[in-house]
Amino acid sequence: MVAPFFTGFFLGLSLIIAIGAQNAFVLRQGLLRQHVFVLCLICAVSDALLIAAGVAGLGTLIEQSPTLLTAIRLGGAAFLFWYASVALRRAFRPQAMDVEGQGEGSLKKAVATCLAFTFLNPHVYLDTVLLVGSLSAQFNGYGRLVYGAGACIASFVWFFSLGYGARLLTPVFKKQRSWQILDFFIATVMALIGISLLLPFFLDG
């Protein structure tokens, strides 16, 4: 059962390793050392639940509901544009955030933002549920469970590595300019993903 495990592991890793909205948020929180364990756990567990749903067949159901996908796409784009504006405002603030964790942000707010990045992002459903779920069809019975487990473990490895590995960049982020560059980068990533979510509406028209 080694092949199904590593197939799921490397597929899951390849889908989440790109710097997207969720990863950019976890990276920033890791640099601030704010609520890192809780946020990494939320991201990893959420991914695991979505992967399990996809392997169980939910992907097919979502694929057959264009209205649901449209609603998720519009809601996700609106949220991403809003967060991009927040990151842009932070970039223009005269003071730097304290890299040792004295930045603003309660646990409740951080958790709510993390959940929004996770479940308002259509790519989560298209990649994690539909793609991972559909590719699980190549395995039968126990092999499918092992495949799903491999994809789930990849999420845990990635998010905790990103959240806690971010502190290795602490010396760089002692400077205000580094925070400004990071927030400009985050704003750009969020805006571009938001635009990509809206493009199908214009292209289809």
Check residue 9 and report its DSSP letter.
H
What does the mean pLDDT of the chain come to? 81
114: in domain: yes
Q: Write out pLDDT tens, residues 51-65.
A: 988 888 765 566 667
CA distance 15 to 173: 28
Query: How far is Cα 100 from Cα 133, in angstroms, rounded to an integer?
Result: 40
Q: Which pLDDT score is estimated for 111?
A: 93
- Residue 97 placed within a domain: yes
Amino acid symbol at 84:
A
Assigned domain for 195 exists = yes
Short-list 37, 21, 203, CA closest to 116: 21
Domain count, the chain: 1
Is pTM, for the whole model, over 0.75? no
Residue 180 lies in a domain: yes
In a domain, 204, yes or no: no
pLDDT in tens, 88-119: 887 887 454 455 544 446 889 899 999 988 88
Contact between 138 and 5 (Cβ < 8 Å): no
Residue 205 lies in a domain: no
**Any domain includes 43:** yes
pLDDT in 10s for each residue of the chain, 205 residues: 578 888 888 878 877 876 677 888 898 899 888 899 999 999 999 999 999 888 887 655 666 677 776 777 787 788 788 888 888 887 887 454 455 544 446 889 899 999 988 888 777 777 787 777 777 766 777 888 898 899 999 999 999 999 999 888 878 777 778 878 888 888 888 788 788 878 877 876 5
In a domain? residue 24: yes
Distance of alpha carbon 116 from alpha carbon 112, whole angstroms: 6
- The residue range of the domain holding 59 is 2-199
**Euclidean distance between CA atoms 31 and 74, whole angstroms:** 30
* CA pair distance 87, 82, nearest whole angstrom: 9
| Residue type at 200 in one-letter notation | P
